[in-house]
Amino acid sequence: RIEIPVPNECGETYRYTIWVGATPQHYTMSDLAPASGNKHPDCRLALRLNEQDRHEGLLPEPLYFATDTIECPMPPRGSTIRVPVAPNLTRYSNDFDISLTELPSKIIYPLHIEIEDNNAAYDFMGQLTNPTKHVIYQAPLPNEGTTRSTRLSTLRLDDPKAKPQLSLVRSDTGAKIFTYDLKKLLAKTHDYRPECQFEYNVEIRLKSLPDNTHYAVEILIDGWTVHSYEIVL
């Protein structure tokens, strides 16, 4: 339960917006600008990105959002009131544990994981801004071993406007070894409910085929096989 002080003189209806976990080190928030007519004020929350629109690794804590309206009674003359609210928080971030397994010995170049999307900024109502803000969530993989693991965070993926693309990338050249639609992969998991689940284990298997040129790519999310395909490395 939270108490919100309001400049209420005659009894009015207010809308409040709450972000939880929006640390200044990782997010920016624009000042609340007055709006005309029935439009809501503009107040944008955005993930801090580098000059290449990238965010690397895990967020330090989950991001949550809530908005609602409250009816404020008229206070006694010359006094103020504090209005208690019980916000219904919605999680706006996801964490991914990603492992690349069964790597062929010929893969000695550096690799990293990317999830490219357009969900780096939200408005006063918790909706993606228009136009949407491009972002690449990135995490490096270790340079050695047949199994290489990393972790990264993204913001909300279940918005209809979000278009997350999962890629395995060569860090030395920037070439993408493969790219898949992450929404479609997640939708193939058992009982997928993005409004309830926010942490995922992703295993990407690369298996050598007999011709030593083609490789089988198998992707598992939380133990469920969601993709199987052949590629050339």
The more confident residue out of 42 and 134 is 134
pTM, whole model, 2 decimals?
Answer: 0.88
**Per-residue pLDDT averaged across 178-194, rounded?**
94
pLDDT tens digits for range 42-53:
678 999 999 999
pLDDT tens digits for range 21-40:
999 999 999 876 655 555 55
Whether 106 contacts 147, CB under 8 Å:
no
Of 115, 121, 138, 134, which Cα lies nearest the Cα of 57? 138
Annotated domain spans of the chain:
2-90, 93-232
Q: Which two tokens stand for residue 209?
A: 């085929």
The more confident residue out of 38 and 161 is 161
Beta-strand ranges (E) seen in the chain are 2-5, 13-20, 27-29, 45-47, 54-56, 64-71, 82-85, 90-91, 93-101, 111-117, 121-122, 135-140, 148-155, 165-170, 176-181, 199-208, 214-221, 224-232
Q: Which two tokens stand for residue 27?
A: 């997010």
Percent of the chain with pLDDT over 70: 88
Which residue bears the tokens 């007519």?
A: 37
pLDDT at residue number 15 = 85
pLDDT tier at 81, thresholds 50, 70, 90: confident
Does position 8 have pLDDT exceeding 70, yes or no?
Answer: no
Question: What topology is assigned to 93-232 in CATH?
Answer: Immunoglobulin-like (2.60.40)
